[in-house]
Amino acid sequence: MTQPPLSYRDAGVDIDAGDALVDRIKPFAKKTLRDGVLGGIGGFGALFEVPKKYREPVLVSGTDGVGTKLKLAFELNRHDTVGIDLVAMSVNDILVQGAEPLFFLDYFACGKLDVDTAASVVQGIAKGCELSGCALIGGETAEMPGMYPDGEYDLAGFAVGVVEKSKIIDGSTILPGDVVIGIPSSGAHSNGYSLVRKIIARSAPDLDARFDEVDGKARTLADAIMAPTHLYVKPVLALMQALTIKGMAHITGGGLTENVPRVLPPGAKAVLNKAAWQRPKLFDWLQQEGGVAEEEMHRVFNCGIGMVLIVAQENRRHALELLHAAGEKALEIGTIEWRDGNEAQTVVV
């Protein structure tokens, strides 16, 4: 008996759905266009011209994902903000070396493409790009039957930025007496979510119950847990135009104690005063419900500080004034001191 002919759709891949998604996301991507874009969504490759204002341009690249925070997005059916997380994790990373993000590409992989879900995710990606002045110029949607459970997907993002060679920020000029400035986070960002999910599974909280209040608006625990990663690009780039930033650290996986040392010279340490900032309620809840030690909290989570800047003492006040004017609730959270022997490079006291 002759078997009927097979199509790609019979194998689980819907080309029409992929085309529909491209049509849905084009308006979102268009909002992110900036000077330098020569070709965008739809081509085999995206073209971008390095801005002519740079005399010795150095490209800075970064890539990241959203991690197991996606598991909560699936469970809560919240897909509109994980795209912001995806962008933020890469553009905030390249920012710390002084780079202006230029363009971003995303990779969305699933077992079966749900156009509405994918469009919601990509709309968040476009929003993150728009907020950071970064063009969404390309990406890839991969429908791979059997690779992912129904209703699940994975994300990866890739950002490219540029910095003048003479203005690369590498922490080499940091000295004892310099000041550590912290810019608050919007929550756990997308770090430590394997532990977050373990705590939720053990404590079985009501995720829809009122949890806290931010800027006068009540939030549920789900809102607090899924709050997207804060984008620091525009205020920090503006600050760089006004004064010298000696070093920066994006507080991602590894928390405060593992990330700040990445920008410090070998002989220096950062002494952070945890009383200098108010830790958001989410982190207190995670610590209490999970019985997490204080040292572990600082090793895993940002604990309320998402970006650290190090400036000379004489620039401290000006830096804080400019960040406050840009809407950031920046704080002086510590100082740089000499380091003795094998002493830790970041100490939280």
Amino acid at 250: H
Domain identity same for 207 and 291: yes
- The pLDDT score that the predictor gives to residue 1 is 65
Q: Which residue has the tokens 């990241």?
A: 64
Number of domains in the chain: 2
2 lies in some domain: no
Residues contacting residue 197 through CB under 8 Å, at least 6 positions apart: 68, 71, 72
- In CATH, what number is assigned to the domain containing residue 317? 3.90.650.10
Contact call for residues 349 and 257 (beta carbons, < 8 A): no
pLDDT per position as a tens digit, 110-136: 999 999 999 999 999 999 999 999 999
Is 138 found in the same domain as 160? Answer: yes
Bridge partners (DSSP) of residue 223 are none
Q: 103, 137, 167: which is the final residue of a domain? A: 167
Of 114, 144, 167, the position where a domain reaches its end is 167
Share of the chain above pLDDT 70, in %: 98
| Predicted pLDDT at 40 | 64
Q: Structural domain of residue 121, as residue ranges?
A: 15-167
Using DSSP's 3-state secondary structure scheme, residue 108 falls into: strand
What pLDDT score was predicted for residue 336? 97
pTM: 0.93
Mean pLDDT of 186-213: 94
Q: Looking at the domain assignment, is residue 311 inside a domain?
A: yes
The span from the CA of 163 to the CA of 189, in Å, is 26
CA atoms of 299 and 303, how far apart (whole Å): 9
Cα–Cα dist 315/243, whole Å? 7
